Amino acid sequence: MTRIYFAAGARRWADYSTHLPAALAEAGVQAEIVTKAPDPATVDYIVFAPGGDITDFTPFTRARAVLGLWAGVERIVGNRTLTQPLCRMVDQGLTEGMVEWVTGHVLRHHLNLDRWIRGEPGWHQDAPPLARERTVAMLGLGELGAACARTLAGLNFRVLGWSRAPKTLPGIETAHGEAGLQQVLSRAGIVVTLLPATPETENLLDARRLGWLPPGAVVLNPGRGCLIDEAALLAALDAGRLGHATLDVFRTEPLPEDHPFRGHRRVTITPHIAAETRPYSAARVIAENIRRGEAGEPFLHLVDRTRGY
Ligand code: NDP
């Protein structure tokens, strides 16, 4: 019988203890799930999350794959003891959550909702522009970035997408490379960063590139904290060159109480809640990959170790 080691921590097991067995049964996989350190040489698949129960994968000589519960893999991809195939989480619940977070925050800034929520005195009937008059840059056109880009384009926003390799997406103008990034940023009223944390994306939005954004532009970061040079972002916000930053992810999480982002009038903080893996749908993704592994079919959502995502 297939042996699965759920090594993502006891707290998470509470969320998966019903959904994973049900999803495996639905996928037609006969499996035994163990949650307490088994003999590593008996394990066929490892379900993993950062902060979970394994740091050294060397003894898991029989494991056919490590199946992550997180979309981002920066906390495991550099682990040199990991030689097994690594699959990350691509989950419908995660994607829907991200689309809703991004769309909500784009609309907040597009419609300048704060002005009306604050209760501006007087009667100034200056209507906001239409979405078709607003340009949104989407940095990252993967599972999450492409879904957000499609939704925003569906609301008529002019969406400019940027990725590592050239990409074609209906209704979205795309670019890649450094010159492409400059073209995209220099036209963006709102920029969304949905890139993975890799050595190449570290401080992608530094002082120079933030300087390419038009005055008053808004930055939304639901990707990873390291994508933005914090000091450069704060300097641009303090100088009033950028209008606002809405940040879900940070270099240090939880964000320290004395961090200059806290209480900043041009910064909105959400505590890494933009999108969460939903156990009922994520369990199906794990089960499908185990089914594939057992049937000798290629795994879904394999991480490319050389790219780091
Ligand atoms: P994908 O791997 O599907 O997509 C990544 C995208 O980034 C791709 O379009 C890729 O380009 C692009 N990219 C990667 N490196 C570069 C680079 N050096 N230059 C330009 N483009 C680059 O990831 P997802 O869309 O699933 O997720 C994106 C990130 O969102 C995750 O890595 C994670 O950090 C974050 N996240 C945040 C959550 C939250 O709650 N805040 C929840 C889930 C994820 P190409 O298409 O050419 O490969």
CATH code of the domain containing 215: 3.40.50.720
34 falls within a domain:
yes
| Predicted ipTM > 0.90 | yes
CA distances (Å), 95 to each of 30, 91, 124, 295, in order? 29, 6, 38, 27
CB distance 306 to ligand 1 below 6 Å: no
303 falls within a domain:
no
Query: What pLDDT was estimated at residue 52?
Result: 87
Domain enclosing residue 14, as ranges: 2-91+277-295
Q: Which of 91, 162, 164 to probe ligand 1 with, by most ligand atoms within 8 A of CB?
A: 164
One domain for residues 262 and 158: yes
One domain for residues 168 and 228: yes
One domain for residues 101 and 224: yes
Q: Which of 194, 247, 249 to probe ligand 1 with, by most ligand atoms within 8 A of CB?
A: 194
196-201 long-range CB contacts below 8 Å, 24 or more apart?
A: 196/72, 196/73, 196/74, 196/140, 196/142, 196/223, 196/224, 196/308, 196/309, 197/72, 197/74, 197/223, 197/224, 197/226, 197/227, 198/74, 198/307, 198/308, 198/309, 199/308, 200/164, 200/308, 201/226, 201/227
Atom of ligand 1 nearest to the CA of 222: 41
For atom 5 of ligand 1, the residue with the nearest CA is 142
Query: What pLDDT was estimated at residue 236?
Result: 98
Query: What pLDDT was estimated at residue 266?
Result: 98
| Domain total in the chain | 2
115 falls within a domain:
yes
CB distance 145 to ligand 1 below 6 Å: yes
> Three-class SS of residue 241?
coil
One domain for residues 64 and 192: no
One domain for residues 61 and 72: yes
Minimal CA–CA distance to 116: which of 105, 128, 102? 128
One domain for residues 135 and 168: yes
Which residues of the chain fall below pLDDT 50?
none
